[in-house]
Amino acid sequence: MIKSEKKKILSALLVIAFGVSVFLAGYYGEYAGDTISPAATLDLSQDSVADEVKYRDESGEIKIDFELLQAQNPDIYAWITVPGTGIDYPVLQKSGTEDIYDNYYLDHKADLSEGLPGAIYTQPVNSRDFKDSVTVLYGHNMKNGGMFSSLHEFEDSKFFEENRQVIIYTPDDTFIYEIFAAADFSDVLIPYEYDFTEDSEIRRYLEDVESCKVNFRHETEVVSSDKILTLSTCYSGRDENRLLIQAVLTEEIQA
């Protein structure tokens, strides 16, 4: 009788212990390290898929699931995040074209369907490794606040002072840029207008940007040997002008 009671008590304790262990495993599996698992499926027709492809690895570093993205469109080669704004998008470049100024993704989404909002993209004139002297990214100024529309927040001097970074992720590297200018520029095709293989042309471009500045960070030194990132979007009702956000590479982190 005593042995039977002991067995019942022992069995009850084992059940309780098992239940506690399952609960703790679930709790720590979900919250420990704030680790986010990458998504298994993806709908690239959506305006933003950041929640599905951005995750933290076991060390807490932000990663992009490029394998998932490129399985659905190999033209996706990078990811842009502008902290303080809603800009958190894949970056594309049309492959298989002989036109180095190709604007396919001006009116095609990341899932290759035609129409707005298009996608954030570079022209084939720029390499995909962000090693060019000047890399230009294009995106629409959407009325719903999507794509590059929130770049216009940098026209506000207070916002410009408080928000300084652009982050580019690629499968191999993470590039950190410091924003040094917001410029009300002309609608010239920048990679065509300026020969960025020449130092004198890079200096001319930087001088033109400063002359058209809306906001400028004079304490940030930028020279012709730097790697410059240009984010370009349009103005509503002003087809002849473009808002340019200029940033200079300050740090490169290998994956």
- Could you give the C-alpha distances from 174 to 107, 192, 195, 255, in angstroms and in order? 27, 27, 26, 7
Q: Helix (H, G, I), strand (E, B), or coil: what is residue 235? A: strand
- With tokens 């400063």, the residue in question is 210
Res. 209: pLDDT tops 70: yes
Query: Are 64 and 42 a contacting pair, CB within 8 Å?
Result: no
pTM above 0.85, yes or no: no
Q: Is residue 163 part of a domain?
A: yes
Tally of domains within the chain: 2
Residue whose C-alpha is closest to residue 73's, from 49, 55, 57, 100: 49
Res. 9: pLDDT tops 80: no
Together in a domain, 101 and 8? no
Query: What CATH number has the domain bearing residue 245?
Result: 2.40.260.10
Q: Which amino acid is at 73?
A: N
Q: Helix (H, G, I), strand (E, B), or coil: what is residue 4? A: helix
Residue whose C-alpha is closest to residue 79's, from 175, 189, 180, 170: 170
Beta strands in the chain (DSSP E): 54-56, 62-64, 76-81, 88-92, 120-121, 134-138, 165-169, 173-186, 213-216, 228-235, 238-254
Q: Is residue 63 part of a domain?
A: no
Res. 11: pLDDT tops 60: no
Together in a domain, 218 and 156? yes
The predicted pLDDT at position 38 comes to 41
- 203 sits in which H/E element: helix 199-211
Together in a domain, 132 and 187? yes
Mean residue pLDDT across the chain: 86
Res. 139: pLDDT tops 80: yes
